[in-house]
Amino acid sequence: MNDDIPTLSHLDASGQIRMVDVGAKTPTERTAVAGGRVRLTPRAYALLTQPGQGKGEVLNTARVAGILAAKRCAELIPLCHSLPLSFVGIDFSLDEAASTVRIQATCRTSAQTGVEMEAMTAASVAALTIYDMCKAADKGIVIEAIALQYKSGGKSGEWKRADAG
């Protein structure tokens, strides 16, 4: 097989799905950071960020939801391995001019496979939680740009998204 040609690791030689066998791999320290954005109308953003209106409650609820989602990733994504997570962190930054909440999810483990899916699941569920808690003010909320920003560890080493600021 030519190593320059990418393959889909979750398909066997006959094209059938399979869980990747990581049994022979040595556990290494691994980190993944994923991000996403929740775009609201200016009115809904103002409600979210108005003092006493629940910014802390909404974002704290989204933080807890993202952490729980990372811990349950293997139950949601059929071929993911269950991983012992050593850390899950969810951070938010607010952009008033764009009426957006930026989400950054960081996951760490020492394991035989990476934590990219856990980080992206955490960012996605945190975004969905913000949507859920703000939908009464804005049905047109958009969740966008869920993507891996950074990963380290394992055979492929370190990777950083070229457009990650």
| 75-113 confidence digits (pLDDT tens) | 998 888 899 999 999 999 999 999 999 999 999 999 988
3-class state of residue 86 by DSSP: strand
**Assigned domain for 105 exists:** yes
Structural domain including 76 reads 42-154
The structure tokens listed for 89 are 């962190």
Q: Which residue has the higher pLDDT, 155 or 101?
A: 101
The answer as to whether 165 is a domain residue is no
Mean pLDDT across 2-24: 69
- Number of helices and strands (H, E) in the chain? 4, 5
Compare 40 and 7 and report the one with higher pLDDT: 40
Round the CA-based radius of gyration of the chain to a whole number and report it.
Answer: 18
Mean pLDDT score, 123-145: 96
Predicted local distance difference test score (pLDDT) of residue 161: 96
43: which 2 tokens? 């009115």
Q: 19-23, 128-132, 152-156 — which is least confidently predicted?
A: 19-23
CB neighbourhood size of 63 (10 A): 20
Q: Is residue 61 part of a domain?
A: yes
Q: Do the domain assignments include residue 17?
A: no
Number of domains in the chain: 1
Q: Are 149 and 33 in contact (CB under 8 A)?
A: yes
Give catalytic residue positions: 132
Other CB atoms within a 10 A radius of the CB of residue 27 amount to 14
Distance of CA 32 to the CA centre of its chain: 9
Phi/psi at 121 (nearest 5 deg)?
-65, -40
Contact 124, 69 (CB under 8 A): yes
Indicate whether 23 pLDDT > 70. Answer: no
**9 lies in some domain:** no
CATH number at residue 48: 3.30.70.640
Residue 135 within any structural domain of the chain: yes
Cite the DSSP H helix spans in the chain: 42-49, 55-71, 73-76, 116-134
pLDDT value of position 21: 66
- Is 18 part of a structural domain of the chain? no
Residue tagged 């945190």 (tokens): 126
Share of the chain above pLDDT 90, in %: 67
The pLDDT score that the predictor gives to residue 1 is 46
Residue-wise pLDDT tens digits, 30-61 = 999 999 999 999 999 999 998 776 678 999 99
Is 28 a member of any domain? Answer: no
